[in-house]
């Protein structure tokens, strides 16, 4: 029996989907436990390239049961679009290989409206939201103003419950944002539609996972985003509105008693960040453009160009610590092959002093990166499959990172295809 987690160490988009897809053949279940359809987890397989948003990245493997746990922001509308889109490309998605927790809360159309209205109100002070309704959703969940998925099956007073919440929500839409209120009829139809389409997927996933535990099954937990976007420990307020850390797994998965035995942290060989917020090692201009192009750094969900820069060892070390990672998978090493010398942000400079500990979030905007350079390898590494065959300078780069972050790098990804990786014993 194994309980493993695949989590992001940086700002997200480290390649979690790609690694889940690679490793999940050894698992019986893949569980998403936080976040919502704002995720973009890219998986490249023989049938082509897929960007998954809410559906766990185990969906391409026969025999793997994928679970959306109680901690996710359950956007039924987008989930259905995602299911249909996968099916149209020949991927089987059925109530046998996808299960939705009866305790997951529903993300409603008003959450997306409020997200967009608030970003608009903030103008140049906006948070850089993907406008998928995630922040309004989680605040409503904590206010106990959401509907649980299981209510679509069990609650005879479901429509009454929806009506009460909508009445309250319309006060905000009208009163705060001067927006059109949403009609009950519209939402009632919305509920009917998704109740019909998605009820067969509803399940007491906590019970299912408990049973799996008793039977000694292997469970893989898949996170969205990365350490630095964690609501409590990240670059607040430029975080997401959920907890991206492995420590949230017991709460968000449905298996409250779970003992995670292996935490694989995904680190990108350089830094990227989508949206607003401090990003100390950020590059601008031509060198940024070159790296962005080399790494194809455009958001899987939004298509937005990602901000890019050298690997940030201060932030990465902090990210590894937060996740309590037992090993690291380093992705996109191949992207750096074009560089003559590889930049590394080893420390920050704050008020004239060099620091190597990640500071309080508001101090980040005053930090400057201290950049050191390592020799490049200047050759294509994307076909290499053995550690011994890597160029010496690439090995040096990996070993340097490993030492600096204090966690063994056991897997190195050198391409987006499933088999483009090197395992380090």
Q: Name the minimum Å distance from CB 267 to Mg ion.
A: 14
Q: Which is nearer to Mg ion, 151 or 222 (CB)?
A: 222
From candidates 3, 6, 13, 253, binder to Mg ion by CB under 5 A: 13
Which of 28, 41, 53, 334 is the catalytic position? 41
Q: Name the minimum Å distance from CB 229 to ligand GDP.
A: 11
41 in catalytic set? yes
Q: Are 165 and 172 in contact (CB under 8 A)?
A: no
10 Å Cβ neighbour count for 81? Answer: 14
From candidates 197, 416, 418, 424, binder to ligand GDP by CB under 6 A: 416
Which of 13, 28, 75, 102 is the catalytic position? 13
What are the residues facing 29 on neighbouring strands?
65, 219
Give a three-class secondary structure readout of the chain.
Answer: CCEEEEEECCCCCCCHHHHHHHHHHHCCEEEECCECCCCCEEEEECCEEEEECCCCCCCCCCCCEEEECCCEEECHHHHHHHHHHHHHCCCCCCCCCEEEECCCEECCHHHHHHHHHHHHHHHHHCCCCCCCCHHHHHHHHHCCCCCECCHHHHCCCHHHHHHHHHHHHHHHHHHCCCCCCCCHHHHHHHHHHHHHHHHHHEECHHHHHHHHHHCCCCEEEEEEEEHHHCCCCCCCCCCCCCCCCHHHHHHHHCCCCCCCCEEEEEEECCEEECCCCCCCCCCCHHHHHHHHHHHCCECCCCCCECEEECEEHHHHHHHHHHHCCCEEEEECHHHHHHCCEEEEEEEEEECCEEECCCCCHHHHHHCEEEEEEEECCCCCCCCCCCHHHCCHHHHHHHHHHHHHHCCCEEEEECCCECCCEEECC
How many residues in the shown chain lie near ligand GDP by CB under 6 A? 21
Query: According to CB under 6 A, which residues from 283 to 302 bind ligand GDP?
Result: 300
Position 40 contacts Mg ion (CB under 5 A):
yes
Position 234 contacts Mg ion (CB under 5 A):
no
- Contact string (CB under 6 A) for ligand GDP, positions 135-164, x = contact: ------------------------------
Position 36 contacts Mg ion (CB under 5 A):
no
- Contact string (CB under 6 A) for ligand GDP, positions 334-353, x = contact: xx------------------
Q: Name the minimum Å distance from CB 117 to ligand GDP.
A: 27
Q: Name the minimum Å distance from CB 56 to ligand GDP.
A: 11
From candidates 260, 332, 384, 394, binder to ligand GDP by CB under 6 A: 332
Q: Name the minimum Å distance from CB 160 to ligand GDP.
A: 39
Q: In this chain, which stretch among 34-42, 144-152, 335-343, 351-359 interacts with Mg ion, using CB under 5 A?
A: 34-42
From candidates 4, 9, 18, 162, binder to ligand GDP by CB under 6 A: 18
Q: In this chain, which stretch among 7-15, 98-106, 164-172, 348-356 interacts with ligand GDP, using CB under 6 A?
A: 7-15
Position 206 contacts ligand GDP (CB under 6 A):
no
Q: Name the minimum Å distance from CB 284 to ligand GDP.
A: 21
Q: Which is nearer to ligand GDP, 133 or 265 (CB)?
A: 265
From candidates 66, 146, 326, 413, binder to ligand GDP by CB under 6 A: 413
Q: Which residues bind ligand GDP (CB under 6 A)?
A: 8, 12-18, 40-42, 44, 300, 331-332, 334-335, 413-416
Residues serving a catalytic function are 13, 41
């Amino acid at each position: 029996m194994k309980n493993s987690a695949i989590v992001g160490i940086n700002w997200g988009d480290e390649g979690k989907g790609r690694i889940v897809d690679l490793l999940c053949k050894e698992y019986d279940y893949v569980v998403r436990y936080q976040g919502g359809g704002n995720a973009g987890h890219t998986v490249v397989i023989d049938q082509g390239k897929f960007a998954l948003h809410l559906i766990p990245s185990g969906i391409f493997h026969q025999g793997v049961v994928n679970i959306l746990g109680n901690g996710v922001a359950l956007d039924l509308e987008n989930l259905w679009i995602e299911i249909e889109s996968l099916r149209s490309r020949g991927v089987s998605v059925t109530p046998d290989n996808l299960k939705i927790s009866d305790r997951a809360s529903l993300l409603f159309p008003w959450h997306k409206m409020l997200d967009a209205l608030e970003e608009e109100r903030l103008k140049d002070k906006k948070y850089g939201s993907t406008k998928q309704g995630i922040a309004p959703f989680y605040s409503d969940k904590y206010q106990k103003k959401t509907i649980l998925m299981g209510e679509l099956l069990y609650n005879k007073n479901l429509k009454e419950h929806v009506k009460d919440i909508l009445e309250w929500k319309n006060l905000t839409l009208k009163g705060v944002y001067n927006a059109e209120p949403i009609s009950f009829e519209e939402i009632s139809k919305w509920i009917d539609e998704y109740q019909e389409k998605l009820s067969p997927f509803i399940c007491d996933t906590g019970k299912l996972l408990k049973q799996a535990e008793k039977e000694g099954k292997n469970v893989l937990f898949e996170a969205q985003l990365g350490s630095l976007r964690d609501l409590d420990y990240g670059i607040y307020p430029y975080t997401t509105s959920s907890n991206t850390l492995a420590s949230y797994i017991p709460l968000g998965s449905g298996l409250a008693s779970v003992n995670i035995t292996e935490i694989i942290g995904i680190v990108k060989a350089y830094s990227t960040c989508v949206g607003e917020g401090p990003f100390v090692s950020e590059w601008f201009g031509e060198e940024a453009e070159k790296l962005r192009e080399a790494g194809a750094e455009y958001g899987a969900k939004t298509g937005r160009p990602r901000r890019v820069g050298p690997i940030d060892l201060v932030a990465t070390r902090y990210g590894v610590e937060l996740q309590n990672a037992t090993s690291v998978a380093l992705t996109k090493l191949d992207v750096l092959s074009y560089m003559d010398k590889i930049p590394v942000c080893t420390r920050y400079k704050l008020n004239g002093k060099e620091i190597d500990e990640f500071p309080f979030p508001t101090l980040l905007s005053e930090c400057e990166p201290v950049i050191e350079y390592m020799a490049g390898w200047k050759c294509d590494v994307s076909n290499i499959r053995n550690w011994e065959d890597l160029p010496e300078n690439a090995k040096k780069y990996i070993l340097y990172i490993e030492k600096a972050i204090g966690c063994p790098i056991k897997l190195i990804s050198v391409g987006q295809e499933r088999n483009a990786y090197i395992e380090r014993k």
